Amino acid sequence: MTMLFSALLTFGLAYWFYKTALRLNANAIQWAAVGAVSYQVPAWAWMLEVSKPYVSGLQGTAAKSTMSAWLISHSWLLIGVVAALLVYRFALLKTSVRG
């Protein structure tokens, strides 16, 4: 279920970047790809390097079923969204208009 949510976030962010690039008269396809990558790369890096090792290091099923373990194991979604928002704010919106 989490992977489906991640895929929906990826497509939604790519569409958002695409529509903004069209409005700014920039290369929309390129920016849609940047939107997808700017979400996926940090999200997967965080998941593989931080959240999965943390949750697998917890001892016992009771520790893995706590709310904090659930939040850490799904934090990669938030990290990806924050990274995409930073790229949107500091890269896409500062794109020069094609002439």
pLDDT in tens, 43-90: 999 999 999 888 888 767 666 678 888 888 899 999 999 999 999 999
CA distance 41 to 33: 12
What was the pLDDT predicted at 29?
Answer: 97
What was the pLDDT predicted at 63?
Answer: 66
- Comparing CA positions, the residue from 56, 86, 75 lying closest to residue 2 is 75
What was the pLDDT predicted at 18?
Answer: 97
Q: For residue 17, what is the enclosing H or E element?
A: helix 2-23
What was the pLDDT predicted at 97?
Answer: 67
What was the pLDDT predicted at 64?
Answer: 66
- Comparing CA positions, the residue from 70, 68, 88, 83 lying closest to residue 18 is 88
* Three-class SS state of 25: coil
